[in-house]
Structure 1
Amino acid sequence: MSELYPDCDPYGIADALTEDERAPLLRLRAVLESEAYPQLAEHWEAGTFPESVGPALQALELMHPPELADQTPRALYHGFRIFELARCDASVATFYTAQAGLFRTACRVGGSEEQFAEWDPKIKSFEMKGVFCLTEPEHGSDIAGGLSTTARRDGDEWVIDGAKRWIGGAFTADYLCVFARDTEDSQVKAFLVPREAPGVTLEKIYGKTSLRMMQNAHITLSEVRVPESARLQNCNSFKDVAAMLRQMRSDVAWIACGIQAGAYEAAVRYVRERQQFGRPLASFQLVQEKLARMLGNLTASLSMVSRLAEKQQEGIYRDEDSALAKMWISLHLRETVALAREVVGGNGITLATDVARFHADAEAVYSYEGTHEINALVVGRSISGVSAFA
């Protein structure tokens, strides 16, 4: 068992972290346990995000923590930072990675060296908060060819029209990283649009049964004007967007691992305490078999993402690698949270046991950043050398 995760990391995968990398993760855990966890059930049921959690996370300086001041944070550290967040709650993890993963990656990959040099210090400090706006009301899996938001050049400005949907964290962002199709060359480009720019309208999406705390927005853009300087200079086609996605999908795979850990640990706590037929639930053979399957899924998932992090640390980023991890881990995530709910029984549908939260939130993670089928086709294309995309 690992020192950092003695209850859910039997192979000690987290032991590959250095002491300097573990320190900020332990600081994060302390804040999650004191600031976030006590509020989760209340806000999940209400469909609201706890206002105090964002500032508490920002103050930790997790993107480049002081413990690693003279080092470049490794991919494995970034992964376990996401794991720790998701082990507490999927919405909290999604909220943080919207800034540290999606928005920062978009600016790093899509921006020029000058743009990223100017923006990144502000992104790391949360002085400049942003979100990634790609999905549209009518286009998700087919966004590469179907993206319909348009950008028209008008002198030194761009005029953007269209709509984006399911944008998490948009209400507290300063900038919306909007992807739009250039009306002149039909190529996809990216723009940092101020959230409060004239012509930008945000509407909260209600009625969700998953990621209830995450505030998702439907965004309408009507003749929104931004200067050429707001265009990400190195994003000039969907191939450039794909370069962002191949890095972002690994973040979602880590979230799926963290949710499995949270669900597994909650289930273990419950079955150790719950008495049935005069014995703890944990003493029954069928319960133990389910716990073993859950831990197997989690251990295999952690092994996969840790190896993926090693490859990324070496500078190897391939679509099929991140797609395989996201596809396989999210699939087994569903089984893990279902087994957790199963061993907890009827109480598994209540927020009091934590299992219900993880069980419901897993459904959103299974679908976002590429559905199971889309990621399978990315992997299948690599295997066969033939694209099966319609």
Structure 2
Amino acid sequence: MKLAFGHHRNFLHQGETRPGTFGLHTAAENIALSLEAETGSIEQLGPLRNLCSPIAAARIAGYQRICSRLYYGWAEPSLSRNYGRQMARKLKYSDVDVVLCNETKHAAYLHTDRKVALWTDTLYGGIFDYYQTFSNLCSRTRRAMEQMDRAAVENCDLLVFASDWASQNAIRLYGANPDKVKTIPYGANFTSGMTRNEAENLVESKRFDGPCRLLFAGVEWTRKGGDTAIRVVEKLRSSGISVEITFLGTDPGKHMDSIPEFVHCAGFLSLNKPDELEKMKQLYRNAHFLLQPCRAECFGHIFPEANSFALPAIASNTGGIPTAVHDGINGYCVNVEDVDAYANRISEHFQSPEKYRALSINAFDDYHNRLSWQKSVQTLIRTLEK
């Protein structure tokens, strides 16, 4: 089976730089590199030119000036259709069997005689009025996204999602054939690189006679539940447990009148800067738990990242998180705003070191068995070959 990767960037070309963004762009890079490593060679259909008709270009400029609701020019149907035409032209001179895309806009209008597969974290319809950036959309953008969703569901031979939540949304919202819908979790944007022996030594070295160290990671304070994390720490402290929390990626000072002494801020650290990446890894090594009381999340690369450090996650049960975090295996999921439940899960394990160590090693094993890009890509290839 010969594979092509359909994206407007070429992630294997030496001249292409990292996108510098998160989410699907970073996932696309990891998918492309992992497929290349696993198969020995994949064909990149990118780079693609970002083209639209003069009428669409004028419309984009006009909407951005006058629209009071959220308008996204990248969702204009003419852009997605043009991506499809560019890839279809390249496929005329290719002998690949399958084209894999990781964004709806690339898969929706790719008309070819090859098998087309989509592996993404959600269709747009699944996050309308769920993510703040997909709420209050203008009618044109919302219609265009729904149109892309429906076109992708109809056009793709295989629909693969990073979570059961997204898979069920495709079936519920757009009537996708359940036989062509599969769930394969995403992997991590960065990992510890530790062996199991190193993970065991790290877990054994953690102290339980001092403060319980929590790590919160995320740029979006409200969506990731930064305020809830603070309330969880306050609950733990009121019960007599010494605890502190470090915020990575966001500044709690922008959301609080004063910063309590148990709150630390690491700021935003870049994966592309070696010294900052090492600081980030040290935060993961030092923490006892990852605390992610998210209000909205399609999957969460943060969970396999944490698990690769033998760091268990205490998270909310919203969106795709329950696919990433399995209760009692690599952490626990609780109701989104249930401060007592987060605190109880943390205290019961911190106050029982053996119980904590077992959960931590299980989390490390779960990363290697289920949540690494290598494992996920291997599962994807087997699915595509059927």
Q: TM-score range, shorter-chain basis?
A: under 0.3
Q: Which of the pair is proportionally richer in helix?
A: 1
TM-score by length of 1: 0.28
TM-score by length of 2: 0.28
